[in-house]
Amino acid sequence: MSVITTNIKTSTLPVMESFYTLQGEGYYQGKAAYFIRLGGCDVGCHWCDVKESWDALKHPQREITDIVEEAAAHPGRLAVITGGEPLMHNLDALTKALHKKGFRTHMETSGSSPLSGNWDWITLSPKKFKAPLPEVCKVASELKVVIFNKSDFAWAEKYAALVSKQCKLYLAPEWDRSAEMTPLIIDYIKDHPEWGLSLQVHKYINVP
């Protein structure tokens, strides 16, 4: 899948951190991946584990050419753009530069801001605090819904009805409530086998 937009491009982006690790969640779990975490988020999940990413002004603006050169220094060619909320920024130039270096471009987003960039894979993780836009729902490669309480199962089904039939469906326990929520998710998936379980494996194996 390739999703292309044509918004105004930018040559710099606020980068909170970048690192080479394994993808810990979803369909590409266990694959080597270079993560680029951008600063800025207007969603504000109370259980967010990277709240320091919310204020874009706290993170340095970096040239896209430098960001991509650092990524290309590693052997893996899967780049994951995350945040914060990455779609708060125009990502056309970043994805174009990554593709030129042979990367697959993946994004993790709440879908709450307009789509930009050229994507090989989009992980949509909708949040109740700011609903995803229909344009993002339609092109999501995988839907990952965080389960914080029992009512979230019905909420997950609401968004499963908005994505394409090809979209992979995952339920993920909120980390601090995983002991309570994981058994409920397991039972739910057994009754609704179109869903899969996504765990934050990177936290279990102690990698970024």
Is 8 a residue whose pLDDT tops 80?
no
Residue 10 pLDDT level (bands cut at 50, 70, 90): confident
Cβ atoms of 24 and 207 closer than 8 Å: yes
Domain positions in the chain are 12-204
**C-alpha dist (Å) from residue 14 to 67, 131, 175:** 10, 24, 27
137 annotated ligand-binding residue: no
Could you confirm whether domain 12-204 is CATH 3.20.20.70? yes
Average pLDDT value for residue range 3-15? 65
Q: Using one digit for the tens of pLDDT, what is the confidence trace for 44-64?
A: 666 566 666 667 778 989 999
Is 88 a residue whose pLDDT tops 70?
yes
| Structure tokens, 28 | 């590409």
> Rounded to 5 degrees, what are φ and ψ at 28?
-100, 20
195 annotated ligand-binding residue: no
167 annotated ligand-binding residue: no
Nearest to 93 by CA among 12, 196, 178, 183: 12
22 annotated ligand-binding residue: yes
127 annotated ligand-binding residue: yes
pLDDT of residue 115: 97
Distance of CA 130 to the CA centre of its chain: 15
Cis amide leading into 83 (omega within 30): no
